[in-house]
């Protein structure tokens, strides 16, 4: 809300260290120009008090009639009049100079939202400043920008206006393109969005459907689509080792040894991957499938094909636990076929590590499994042909690049796996430069997890149920929100652990505790004990979120479920019900629930389909959050909304092809403006 017209501090020149804008991610003039208002306030006209409307913010010009401090909370009440009526202003924070500020008889301009009371209208905490009766009113709507603590709107307004003045806002996209898609020019669009005239269509501006908004979204998507097309073209010039064509004996043997048959969609994914591996161009493929859909076996078959062709395969997973689990599973499957497996992780003894490194470097280990340790300096491969990244969104682009760099003379083929199902339109928009294989549905024999929601007040009932299952010899997960400093009101994993041990009495020894702050070796021990059945109740923070596979677990309780995202809860829930028997997930929440939290829990109760839930999540939250902040590069989509602007994605894709071909200079300028120096799209 605009406050008194204090002269704002002159904004520092763009990108100076300590510049408040940097905290908002604003570095250069273009960043400021593209920092678009959330909404606007109309200070272009004065509303007489008599025609104020409840709930509609308005600017009033009135004279102070009285001001007094009082009441239990020491509030300041100021009564003001204009020719048409009178209005009360209330303030809960009072500055020492209030008597001067609201001196009787002073003429003020007051902006706020009127509220009807028994005594007429009042405004709580309006913004006020002294004004001459004939002081000119702004000609344009006042923008309200996204900001952060300590960064005032007036500072931002001045900074943005200065950036717009410095920038060269001449059009750089060819007329033909703008005409084809009926888009307005960039300069007027930006000027309109930052300072709309008083008669602008406020509704379409706020809804971001105004043509000026459309131009901005189009530009953003155009940059993104061009970057993807360039990345794809660049990759087409890279060389990989083509792997053996035709069937692989090793793959046949592995398939025959598996205790289950592949589902048709797993089979299709293997075929797509193997076809890629046979090319001399590096594969760049995302394998996505709901949690529990069976991606690991697809990866193992791809690895077997690579190994049979004489290459090594590296598999990288984000945590020690997950990497350890892949190691066990892949070793079980592949070692009997004579494939050597090496193991690299963060916390590893010097001697063990040296031995594993030597086996990777000599090629004796055809498969190297590990965490980030796989991409560290000093890790060498004899002949790396295939790199697999599990839970790819947990890694940054730089990490994926360093894995690829381990290929040496030629690039390894790259397979990325993700359990965050991405709706198809979103996948197209975000990963236009990736090929995508999708495992639809689940392996046969799974019963959907029954999901129930419980108020924290019924905690005892839930605990009783957990104890009964443990006594019956079943396995149970108890998930707590992450331990965060200062969040003392949250039950942390340790408290729940003690509580459950006490509840289990004689069976207390069957309870294990797993959280992020434990040393890696201890975590692995606990996980192993749970996987082996020596522990029956595992109290864990979300370190179990990704990929853990303990088929016997049949019950999961999630505490403070309202704190988790929809996809996250779905992933968690996917940990149970893998053994074929009936499984249950109990979501405990602490009231009061926000409307979106309620909608999330309800969606989980009603659907077991990760793709449907991902779509719902998209509706509830928007794409940035769905994918998580860590998904580097994705923040690049700040303006376009993939739900509302799906049509623009297709338009931008065609426009990108055209522009790169017909006007490379304009294409280059556009990329420079939008992506600046270092945006991940180019490398991803
Ligand atoms: P995710 O896709 O979440 O990584 P996993 O690869 O861990 O899932 O597979 C989940 C479980 O399903 C594992 O125990 C795996 O062995 C099993 N599985 C995979 N494919 C099949 C199949 N076709 N039939 C039966 N079980 C399968
Ligand atoms: Mg997995």
Mind listing the pLDDT tens digit for each residue in 618-649? 666 554 444 433 333 344 467 887 667 878 88
Lowest mean pLDDT among 6-10, 179-183, 413-417, 573-577: 6-10
Give the β-pairing of 341-344 and 367-370: parallel
Residue 9 pLDDT > 50: no
Instruction: Give me ligand 2 centre to Cα 433, in Å.
Output: 23
CA distance to 233, 296, 631, per residue, from 392 (Å): 22, 13, 9
pLDDT attached to residue 610 = 78
The mean pLDDT value for 413-420 works out to 87
End-to-end CA distance of the chain: 40
Domain 450-607 class, CATH top level:
alpha beta
- Give the residues across from 63 on adjacent strands: 81, 107
Residues 6 or more apart whose CB falls under 8 angstroms from that of 441 comprise 263, 265, 290, 293
The average confidence (pLDDT) of the chain is: 85
Closest atom of ligand 1 to CA, residue 439: 2
Two domains, one topology: 45-130 and 249-439: no
**pLDDT of 10 strictly over 50:** no
Rounded to 5°, the CA angle 56-205-121 comes to: 5
Averaged over 19-23, what is the pLDDT? 81
Residue 277 CB neighbours (<10 A): 26
Lowest mean pLDDT among 272-276, 354-358, 500-504, 607-611: 607-611
Alpha-carbon radius of gyration of the chain: 30
Helices (H), 16-73: 20-23, 29-33
Query: Torsions phi, psi of 304, nearest 5?
Result: -60, -40
Do 320 and 369 meet the contact criterion of CB atoms below 8 Å apart? no
Q: Is the CB of residue 476 less than 8 Å from the CB of residue 536?
A: yes
Question: CA 267 to CA 138: how far, in whole Å?
Answer: 66
CA of 577 to the centre of ligand 2 (A): 15
CA distance 615 to 620: 9
Looking at the predicted structure, is the pLDDT value of residue 427 above 70? no
Q: What's the mean pLDDT in 408-415? A: 91
Strand blocks (E) in 372-463: 384-389, 413-418, 435-439, 450-455
Q: How confident is the model at residue 484 (pLDDT cuts 50, 70, 90)?
A: low
Closest CA to 655 of 267, 214, 309: 214
pLDDT for residue 346: 79
Distance of CA 324 from the midpoint of ligand 2 (Å): 12
Nearest-atom index, ligand 1, CA of 291: 3
Q: Could you tell me the strand order of the sheet in which 367-370 lies? A: 341-344, 367-370, 312-316, 384-389, 413-418, 284-289, 435-439
Atom of ligand 1 nearest to the CA of 329: 16
pLDDT at position 571, please?
A: 81
Of 294, 303, 531, 572, the one to substitute when testing ligand 1's pocket (max ligand atoms within 8 A of C-beta) is: 294
Counting Cα atoms < 13 Å in the Cβ hemisphere of 364 gives: 9
CATH architecture of the domain with residue range 45-130:
Beta Barrel (2.40)
**Which residue has a Cα nearest atom 12 of ligand 1?**
294
pLDDT exceeds 60 at position 395: yes
Q: Are 410 and 239 in contact (CB under 8 A)?
A: yes
**pLDDT at position 631:** 37
Q: What is the pLDDT of residue 618?
A: 66
Contact assessment for residue 141 and residue 42, using Cβ atoms and an 8 Å cutoff: yes
Give the residue whose CA is nearest to atom 13 of ligand 1.
294
Q: What gap in Å lies between CA 21 and CA 150, rounded to an integer?
A: 11
> Ligand 1 pocket: which residues have CB below 6 Å?
260, 262-263, 266, 289, 291-297, 419, 443, 547, 549, 551, 578
Q: What is the mean pLDDT of residues 195-212?
A: 90
Which listed ligand is nearest to 551 at the C-alpha? Answer: 1
The architecture of the domain spanning 249-439 is 3-Layer(aba) Sandwich (3.40)
- Asked whether the bond before 592 is cis by omega within 30 degrees of 0, the reply is yes
pTM: 0.68
Work out which ligand 1 atom sits closest to the CA atom of 296: 6
Residue 5 phi/psi, 5° resolution? -75, 55
What pLDDT is stored for residue 633 in this prediction? 38
pLDDT for residue 49 is more than 90: yes
> How close is the Cα of 545 to the center of ligand 1, in Å?
16
Give how far Cα 28 sits from Cα of 152, 220, 497, Å: 19, 17, 50
DSSP assignment of 41-54: E--SSPPPGGG--T
Q: How is the chain split into domains, by residue range?
A: 45-130, 249-439, 450-607
Strand duo 312-316 + 367-370: pairing: parallel
Ligand with an atom nearest the CA of residue 578? 1
CA 500 to chain centre: 33
Query: What confidence score (pLDDT) does residue 147 get?
Result: 84
Task: For residue 536, report the distance from its CA to the centre of ligand 1, in Å.
Answer: 22
Which residue, judged by its Cα, is nearest atom 4 of ligand 1? 295
Candidates 259, 296, 418, 572: which one to mutate for ligand 1, based on the most atoms within 8 Å of Cβ? 296
Which pLDDT does position 157 carry in this prediction?
A: 93
Query: Which-ligand-closest: CA of 394?
Result: 2
Mention every residue, 6+ apart, whose C-beta is less than 8 A from residue 611.
Answer: 290, 421, 423
d(CA 151, CA 160): 13
> Confidence band (pLDDT; 50, 70, 90) for 386?
very high
pLDDT tens for 247-265 read 889 999 999 999 999 999 9
Q: Concatenate the DSSP letters of all residues of 15-29 into one string.
A: T-TT-HHHHTT--SH
Range with the poorest average pLDDT among 184-198, 295-309, 411-425: 411-425
Å from CA of 433 to ligand 1 middle? 28
Integer angstrom CA distances of residue 107 from 47, 62, 123, 134: 15, 6, 17, 11
Tens digits of residue pLDDT in 546-600:
456 788 889 999 998 988 878 778 888 888 887 777 899 999 998 888 888 888 8
Q: What are phi and psi of 102, to 5 degrees?
A: -115, 45
Instruction: Report the alpha-carbon distance of residue 300 to residue 631 in Å, rounded.
Output: 25
């Amino acid at each position: 809300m605009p406050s008194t017209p204090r002269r704002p501090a002159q904004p520092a020149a763009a990108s100076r260290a300590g510049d408040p804008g940097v905290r908002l991610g604003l570095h250069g003039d273009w960043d400021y120009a593209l920092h678009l208002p959330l909404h606007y306030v109309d200070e272009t006209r004065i509303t007489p008090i008599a025609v104020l409307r409840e709930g509609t913010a308005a600017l009033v010009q009135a004279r102070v009639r009285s001001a007094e401090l009082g009441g239990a909370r020491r509030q300041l009440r100021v009564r003001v009049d204009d020719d048409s009526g009178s209005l009360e202003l209330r303030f809960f924070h009072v500055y020492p100079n209030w008597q001067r500020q609201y001196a009787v008889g002073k003429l003020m301009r007051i902006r706020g939202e009127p509220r009807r009371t028994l005594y007429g209208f009042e405004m709580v905490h309006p913004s006020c400043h002294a004004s001459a009766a004939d002081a000119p009113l702004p000609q344009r709507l006042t923008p309200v920008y996204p900001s952060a603590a300590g960064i005032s709107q007036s500072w931002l307004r001045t900074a943005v206006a200065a950036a717009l003045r410095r920038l060269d806002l001449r059009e750089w996209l060819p007329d033909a393109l703008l005409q084809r898609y009926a888009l307005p020019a960039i300069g007027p669009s930006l000027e309109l969005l930052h300072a709309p005239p008083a008669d602008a269509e406020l509704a379409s501006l706020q809804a971001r459907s105004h043509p000026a908004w459309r131009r901005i979204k189009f530009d953003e998507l155009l940059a993104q689509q061009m970057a993807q097309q360039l990345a794809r073209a660049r990759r087409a010039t890279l060389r990989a080792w083509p792997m053996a064509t035709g069937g692989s004996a090793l793959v046949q043997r592995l398939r025959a040894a598996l205790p289950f048959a592949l589902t048709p969609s797993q089979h299709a994914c293997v075929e797509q991957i193997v076809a890629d591996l046979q090319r001399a161009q590096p594969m760049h493929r995302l394998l996505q499938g709901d949690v529990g859909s069976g991606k690991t076996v697809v990866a193992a078959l791809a690895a077997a094909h690579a190994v049979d062709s004489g290459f090594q395969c590296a598999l990288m997973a984000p945590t020690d636990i997950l990497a350890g689990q892949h190691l066990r599973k892949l070793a079980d499957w592949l070692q009997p076929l004579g494939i050597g497996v090496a193991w690299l992780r963060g916390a590893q003894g010097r001697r063990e590590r040296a031995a594993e490194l030597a086996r990777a470097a000599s090629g004796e280990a055809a498969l190297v499994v590990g965490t980030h340790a796989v991409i560290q300096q000093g890790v060498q491969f004899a002949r790396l042909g295939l790199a697999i990244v599990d839970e790819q969104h947990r890694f940054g682009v730089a990490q994926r690049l360093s894995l690829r760099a381990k290929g040496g003379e030629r690039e390894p083929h790259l397979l990325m796996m993700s359990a965050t199902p991405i709706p198809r339109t979103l996948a197209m928009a975000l990963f236009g430069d990736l090929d995508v294989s999708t495992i639809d549905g689940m392996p046969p024999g799974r019963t959907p997890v029954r999901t129930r929601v419980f108020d924290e007040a019924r905690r005892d009932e839930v605990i009783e149920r957990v104890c009964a299952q443990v006594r019956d010899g079943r396995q149970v997960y108890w998930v707590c929100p992450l331990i965060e400093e200062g969040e003392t009101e949250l039950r942390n994993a340790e408290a729940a652990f003690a509580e459950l041990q006490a509840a289990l009495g004689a069976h207390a020894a069957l309870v294990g505790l797993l959280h992020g702050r434990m040393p890696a070796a201890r975590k692995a021990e606990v996980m192993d004990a749970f996987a082996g059945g020596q522990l029956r109740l595992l109290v864990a923070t979300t370190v179990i979120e990704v990929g853990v596979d303990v088929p016997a677990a049949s019950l999961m309780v999630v505490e403070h479920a309202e704190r988790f995202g929809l996809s996250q809860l779905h992933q968690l829930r996917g940990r149970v019900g893998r053994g074929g028997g009936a499984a249950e997930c109990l979501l405990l929440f602490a009231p009061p629930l926000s409307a979106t939290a309620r909608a999330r829990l309800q969606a989980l109760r009603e659907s077991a389909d990760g793709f449907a839930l991902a779509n719902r999540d998209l509706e509830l939250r928007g794409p940035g959050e769905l994918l998580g902040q860590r998904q580097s590069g994705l923040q690049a989509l700040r303006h376009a909304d993939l739900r509302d602007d799906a049509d623009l994605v297709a338009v931008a894709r065609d426009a990108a092809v055209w522009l790169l071909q017909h006007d490379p200079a304009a294409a280059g300028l556009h990329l420079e403006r939008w992506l600046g120096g270092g945006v991940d799209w180019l490398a991803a």
